[in-house]
Structure 1
Amino acid sequence: DRFPRFVGSSPDDHAATAANIPATFRDDASRSVGEQRRIVVAKDTGYIQFLDDEAVLKLASKHDLVLRLQYQPGDFVHVGRALVEVWPPEKCSDVCADDLRDMFAIGSRRSALQDLRFLVDELVEIAARALSPGVNDPFTAVTCLDWLSAALSDLAGRSLPSHLRVDDDGMLRVIAHPVTFASLIDRSFGALAQYCAADMVASLRYLNALGEVSLDCDEPDRLTTIRTYADRLEELANEALKGFNLTRVRTRAAELRTALDQPDYKRRLRDGTAWLAGTA
C-alpha cells in the first residue's frame, strides 16, 4: 500500500474521470494545446524519497488545479527537470509553484516509505549478486525468489490503485504514472531471468515462484504475462544449461504452461507436489 494509493482516492467511475483529463495532458493534444500548462521543475538532483500526498491534494483542490506528476517516489530526478505539470497554468502562481516543489523530498538515497519498487529492487539485487560467478550461492537467490513470489502473489489477486486521483468531491486532481502488474513482474522476474537461467536450482525455484503467483491470479492478461516469463526463462536456460539440468528445467516449464492452459489451473498447481511445499 504505497504511492499513489494515499494521494486522494481512486475515482468511482474511472471512465468518466479519464474523459475529464485536460486536453493538454492527452497524447493526441496539438502542439498549441499541449503547451497550455505550467511546468514546475526540480530544485535538486537525487532520488525522490517522499511526496507529501495530503499537501499535494489540498493544494490542487484549493487552487482548482489538475497536476500531472512526471516522477514518483524512488525515481531519480535531475535539477531543472519537469517535476510536475500544472493545468490551468494561470491558476498556478509563483508561490503556488514553490509550495508544490517543496512537497517533494529529494535525497541521495532511495527510501522504502512510499516506493513500492524499492523492496523489489533490493531482492533482485541480492539474488543477482548471489548468482554471480564469483559468489555462486543459489540458495540465497532461492530465498529472494520466495519473497518476490509472496509480494507478487499479494498483488496478483487485487486491483492496483488507479493513476487518476480525485479529491473528496470526486474531482480529478492528480495524474500519476500507472503502476501495473506487468511492470512489477518485469522488474522482478524479468530482471532475474538471465541470472536464474544459468543455474538449475534457481531456475526451478523461479518457475515454482511463477506457479505460486498464478495461484492468486484470476485475470487472463496477468496469467499470460506469467507464462511469458516462464517461456523467457526456458529460452535462456536452453543457452546456459545442458544435459540433465536442462531437461529438468524444460520439464518444469512445460508443466507450468500445461497447468496455466487449463481452466482449473489452480487445482492443478495445488495438486502438483512439484509446486508447493518448497519442493525444487
Structure 2
Amino acid sequence: MSVPDPKSGMFCKEYLQPDDQLQDHIRAYIVLQADFPDTTSRDYTLLPQVHPFLLFNLGETPAVRNRQTGEYLQQHLLIPAHHQSLSFSIAPAMKILAIQGVAGSGSHLFRDIPQLNHIQQQLLECQDTQRMGALLNTSLGEHFQQEKQHFRNIRDAVRVILDTGGNVIIRQLEQTTFQTKRTLERGFLTQTGLHLKMFCRIIRFRKAIVHIAKEKQLCWAKLAQDCGYCDQTHFINEFHFFAGCLPGAYAGTPSLFEQAIG
C-alpha cells in the first residue's frame, strides 16, 4: 500500500564529487537510502526539471516505482529532463545511487552509457561509497569525453538561460552563441529532449518555486513580475501546467525525494 504523504518520510544521503573531466555533464553522485519511521511506502512527486537523472538500484528488491507507467527500478532507470510532474512510490527498503546530470546535459548520453547492467552489478560489489565514486568516474569518463562536443554546441545558450532565469529572447541567444535560431532549437531538442522554448519555461517555473520556498508572505502579482511572467494570470496558468495545481494549493517546497536527489 502506498500513502501520498511525502512529509512523513526521510532519507539518508551522501554526495560524491565526480571527476573534473565529468563536470560538463554530471553534477553529483548521490547515495540515497529511505529512512522511514514505519514499513509503509510513500508517494513523492518530481516537478518538471531540466536535469536528467540516472538511478541505480543498490537494494535487494525493487523499491522505486513510477506511478504513471508502473515501471520499477529493477537495475537502472533514466529520468530524463521532463516538462510534466512525475510521481514515484518509494518503499522503505529503497537504496539507490543517483547520477545527477547538469542542466542541458543530454538525456540520450545517459541512456547510451555502455554496460549499465554491469555497472550496477559492480556498484553492488563495492564495499564503500568512495569506491562507488571511483568506479563511476572510470566507467563514465571515456564515454562522456567522447561526447563532449555535443553539449558544447548548446552550453553557452544554457548558461545564458540559467543566468536570466529563463527570461531571454532568441535574438540574445543567437548573438551570444553565434548560432542561428534553427540551429539552437535543433540542438536543444536533440541534446535535452526538450524544445528550446520549453527549456526556458521550465527554468522560469523553477525560479518561481525557489521564490515560493523563500518568501514568508507571498504576493502572487509581485512574484509573477519578479520571475518574468507578463502578468499574474500568465504565471497561474504556467504554474498549473507544470505543477498540476494552482499556486495557492502548492505545498511550498518540492517533495523530500526531489530535494534528496536534487
Larger radius of gyration: 1
TM score, norm. by length of structure 1: 0.28
Query: What is the TM-score with the length of structure 2 in the denominator?
Result: 0.29
More helix by share: 1
Higher RCO structure (Cα 8 Å, ≥6 apart): 2
Identify the structure with the greater strand proportion. 2
